[in-house]
Chain A
């Protein structure tokens, strides 16, 4: 399978404290994968280091075969990696439509174009409405985002992330804070998108139901190290994982 994201010996330290160390993994195109691990295992640090929030202290990141290690976040997006955040990260006082137009404007390199009404730009509007239809928000296009329900706000972030047709999408706990119905909808949405658009999803999640219904491959992070990786059934039966993580989690 063609590799879309490859990480080599990635490490990050705050001063002397090594948060993550020596992480290597390779994700195939279209292969939904999940990164799991107890709180403090270093998942968010790992995400931040590979998505350009800060450069990693060690190791290399390859995206579509190209070395993108240490690029700032906006360059990372240009290269094809988009991400969501644990805490919903959207443009609160803009409309749903304006939220999804923003990434498209940048993708079409119109972000310094100082004339021409945005809403009359067909190239932008058609793509924007298409993206909103994908996540099921087309009817709410003219609503200001801050007036939406929590689950819909998460969908707005999803639309922002998907708008630019990224080759890899990092989702940091996409169902955190959602009710069971919203969680189920999000799972179905990710499944649908992975099947139809060929987007590669790489998610972190605490909800094991979400992980096992979506991921074809699971990576387990424990105390900054990659403890195990494999297919869901292999991870389920892995003793080290059960000891470190699943065992403790199952009676929670």
Chain B
């Protein structure tokens, strides 16, 4: 089907085009920023499956991101260099942890849910921080060799920033397409129904807790995928990924970008890092200015920057 018949796809298509050719247009420094934006964007979009679509505020998503990163770092240290094994294992470990955390937390709502996920996340932070022998403690776990990809008889490595960018771009694109499918599936509609009214879901035959656990596991595994990518990009897994202050990042990005729009959190990540880059040119106290920016955003863009602008200029159809 041609794009002229589907006007809502023009935006994503242009974005894809820009991202695809970004290495030809931007200096290496900005390519690295863009790589980080894409990784954090995937984390935020996966997080928003819970906040925006299911109505659950998880304050422990850093745990899944961190577990993905540590799984990747440990496997690389053990000599496993197959890219697909790393990506798959990171997702799997995050998925299992999400099932475990989900089992204990989905009975609760709102602030109680946020607090128990925060607590569970800090549990994983403590393990990563204190289990020196395995995780390297507060220094983190460095990665010395990056994976190689054998594709069509050719061998790809990811030491150059541009090839790392394309690895991240492709993986994030795949992750976001999969999440997009989930959001528009029957399961996705039931999640939105849960967000609106969980009692009603129970009284049409839905098992609230089971649905929430599955949503939590899907969201957590994609957060783990983002963690693997960040470990490769950063050449390091550190306990900070699992700290609650790191878990606040996808929350802030989703709110800046807009929780009601699928790609809102990705734009939130872009705004977050864009602002950081602009502001650190002038001052080290960038968190102060982040606060100054957040307040008007919450006041004047109640559906996030992206969400409010879209609803202003394009009627939902």
| A77 pairs with B205, CB closer than 8 A | yes
A116 and B186 in contact, given A78-B205, A111-B211 (Cβ under 8 angstroms): yes
Chain B residue numbers with a CB within 8 Å of A237 are none
Chain A residue numbers with a CB within 8 Å of B193 are 91, 94, 98-99, 102
Chain B residue numbers with a CB within 8 Å of A160 are 200, 204
Q: Taking CB as reference atom, which chain A residue is nearest B204?
A: A103
- Grouping DSSP codes into helix (H, G, I), strand (E, B) and loop, the B interface class, with mixed when no group exceeds half, is helix
| A114 pairs with B185, CB closer than 8 A | yes
| B196 pairs with A111, CB closer than 8 A | no
Q: Does B80 contact A (CB under 8 A)?
A: no
| A107 pairs with B186, CB closer than 8 A | no
Interface size in chain B (residues, C-beta < 8 A): 26
| A74 pairs with B207, CB closer than 8 A | yes
Q: Does B201 contact A (CB under 8 A)?
A: yes
Complex: A82 Cα to B203 Cα, angstroms = 7
Chain A residue numbers with a CB within 8 Å of B287 are none
Chain A residue numbers with a CB within 8 Å of B186 are 105, 110-111, 113, 116, 118, 121, 124
Q: Taking CB as reference atom, which chain B residue is nearest A106?
A: B205
Q: Does A14 contact B (CB under 8 A)?
A: no
| A111 pairs with B197, CB closer than 8 A | no
Q: Does A73 contact B (CB under 8 A)?
A: yes
| B181 pairs with A114, CB closer than 8 A | yes
Chain A interfacial positions (CB closer than 8 Å to B): 51, 72-75, 77-78, 82-83, 89-94, 98-99, 101-103, 105-107, 110-118, 121, 124, 160, 163-164
Chain B interfacial positions (CB closer than 8 Å to A): 181-182, 184-190, 192-193, 196-197, 199-208, 211, 214, 218
Question: Given A117-B184, A118-B188, A160-B204, 8 other A-B contacts at CB below 8 A?
Answer: A74-B203, A75-B205, A94-B192, A98-B189, A102-B190, A112-B211, A114-B218, A115-B181
